[in-house]
Amino acid sequence: MDLQTLEKAKHQWQSAADMMPQLICLLDGKGHLIHINRTIERWGMGSVANVKGLHLHRVLHPNCVDPQCYFNAFWLTAAAKLSRGARTEYEVFDPVLKRHLSLLVQPLVQPPHQLLEADDLHAVVMMGDISEFKQAEAGYQHLYEELEYLACREKERREHSEGMQARLLAILERTTDYVAMADAVGSMVYLNPAGHALLGLVPGDDITRMKLCEHSDQEVKDRIRDEAIPSAIRNGLWTGESRLRDHAGREIHASQIIIAHCGNDGQVENLSTILRDTTEQVQTAQALRESRDELRRLSGLLVTIQEDERRRISLDLHDGLGQSLSLIKLSLENSARLLATGAADEASESLKQLIPRVKEALFEVRRVSTELRPSILDDLGILPTLSWFFREFEAVCGGIAVEKAFNVAEHEVPVPLKITLYRILQEATNNIVKHAGADRVRVSLDRIGDVLHLLIEDNGSGFDPLSIRYVEGQGRGLGLLSMKERASFSGGAYHLESILGQGTRIEVSWPCGEFSG
């Protein structure tokens, strides 16, 4: 190859090198520049002619005296590798040039000796400005970090959502309310365990063929279809009272909520319903209404009983004490006339005849007073009172034998129950005398644990209890009703059994724990 061709190749090589964006340097063994391309001028670091023979560090960092400058360490490493014929690659942000640089130091083992400068050519250094790449890389890294952050947030949100769904499902599974979900046409897709139990289903039963309100009566189904679901679709929610039947056919009152779930297009996608069993509350409210009605009836009955008792006392006073006092009055007036005429002996005889009548009047007063409330009950207690009462009963009703079994002590009968016991026994024996035609009566009083038991039974004609109903204004059935109400008002339980021709049995029991203390 002739010299002209070599010169032409040299110029072509230099032109190509000058056009390269990288800074290309040819160094001798001491790190001094033999040649550098024109990128140095484009980077504003001087001209090609002015830097020849300078150390590369001085070209890059003029006047640098920093012992910690990265280039010092870099060049020592690169020189060591050059001595072994190895290349060095390095990326760094140059604080002086304010660029991210890609450095490559390549040894030239056999440099082309035809080049005049090649006698001392030792290595080629290529520096590329990778600032844009680093900025893009930083941007990508930032974007990656943002995406990773968003992915983590999405994962957390999904895990939170799944956790919430799991907790909500656990709530639905454990709640005692009936919870069901259905598709747009009302076919069930979910029914919680409480709903399964209410309808008598087991977990494996197919619910997809069931409708949302399948277990309700037709009237309720029609109302749900025609009123509740359309209202839920219009307003998103419907609430109201409903009824359904369990697997045994028992009617259940419920407070019901129906929710319509719509998609973005406004069309119904699902329906869900929650039912809470309010049967107990409904029954309680009904019992309360019945209790109020019963209270009004008993208030009227109390007035009737009071009026009947006053009427009886009035008749007793009129027919007994009233007549005795009238005779006493007449006798006293007659005695006064005799004394006025001087017939003292006759007046004295008239007064003597008056004494038995006064005794009769006193007896009648005691009888009425005893019937109102026997003083012996307050003075001696219930057991002596019952003994006295049945002695009097047997004396008056000699044809009726009384068997008594009082297996309690006086202190075992609560004080508030003593008058109630007496009145019930008084009414029962009165009914036996008037209606039963019995010749034997058995009465027992026992306390078993905290319960006091009273039993009254006779061997009379008996009757049909269903045929004896108290009617206001009539006396029939009033005695039986008064015994029942006395037992109820005092906290007791009253039970009556009677069969035609087989006598009557009355049992009353009171829990005594509430009377303790």
Question: One digit per residue, pLDDT tens: the chain, 517 residues?
Answer: 577 787 777 778 778 888 889 999 998 878 889 889 999 989 888 888 888 889 989 989 988 888 899 998 999 899 889 888 899 999 999 999 899 999 999 998 554 444 444 445 689 999 999 999 989 988 899 999 999 999 999 999 999 988 998 888 888 888 888 898 988 888 888 888 888 888 888 878 888 888 877 788 888 888 888 888 888 888 889 998 888 887 778 888 888 999 988 888 888 889 999 988 888 888 888 888 888 887 777 676 666 666 666 676 666 666 666 677 777 777 787 778 778 787 777 777 777 777 777 777 777 766 666 666 677 777 788 888 888 888 888 887 778 888 888 998 888 888 888 888 888 888 888 888 888 788 888 999 999 888 899 999 888 888 877 766 654 554 455 677 778 888 888 888 888 888 888 888 899 998 887 665 4
Q: How far, in Å, are 180, 184, 217 from residue 259 at the CA level?
A: 11, 11, 21
The gap from C-alpha 123 to its chain's centroid, in whole angstroms, comes to: 85
The answer to whether 254 and 178 are in contact (CB under 8 A) is yes
The model's pTM is 0.44
Q: How far, in Å, are 122, 202, 204, 231, 428 from residue 354 at the CA level?
A: 169, 92, 98, 92, 38
Q: How far, in Å, are 196, 258, 262 from residue 176 at the CA level?
A: 11, 17, 27
Structural tokens at position 123: 């290595």
Spatial separation of the C-alpha atoms in residues 233 and 262, rounded to whole Å: 8
Exposure letters 179-204 (e unless 16+ CB within 10 A, then b): bbbbeeeeebeebbbbbbebbebeee
The answer to whether 180 and 199 are in contact (CB under 8 A) is no
The answer to whether 240 and 279 are in contact (CB under 8 A) is no
Residue 176, number of CB atoms within 10 A of its CB? 11
pLDDT score, position 368: 66
377-517 CATH, one of 3.30.565.10, 3.40.630.10, 3.90.79.10, 3.40.630.30? 3.30.565.10
CB-hemisphere CA count at 13 Å for 414?
19
Which own/partner contact pairs does 73-82 have at CB distance under 8 Å and 24+ positions apart? 74/103, 75/31, 78/105, 78/123, 79/31, 81/105, 81/107, 82/107, 82/122, 82/123
Residue whose pair of structure tokens reads 């109390």 in the numeric block: 302
Rounded to 5°, the CA angle 111-114-116 comes to 90
pLDDT score, position 48: 87
Spatial separation of the C-alpha atoms in residues 423 and 504, rounded to whole Å: 18
Domains 287-372 and 377-517 are alike in CATH topology: no
DSSP, collapsed to helix, strand or coil, labels residue 265 as coil
> Architecture of domain 3-129 in CATH?
2-Layer Sandwich (3.30)
Spatial separation of the C-alpha atoms in residues 267 and 184, rounded to whole Å: 9
The answer to whether 51 and 153 are in contact (CB under 8 A) is no
Structural tokens at position 385: 């009172």
End-to-end CA distance of the chain: 136
Q: In what order do the strands lie in the sheet with 88-94?
A: 33-36, 23-27, 123-129, 99-107, 88-94
Superfamily of domain 175-277: PAS domain (3.30.450.20)
In CATH, 287-372 is 1.20.5:
yes
CB-hemisphere CA count at 13 Å for 459?
9
The answer to whether 512 and 450 are in contact (CB under 8 A) is yes
* DSSP per-residue string spanning 377-399: HHHT-HHHHHHHHHHHHHHH-TT
Sketch the domain layout of the chain as residue ranges.
3-129, 175-277, 287-372, 377-517
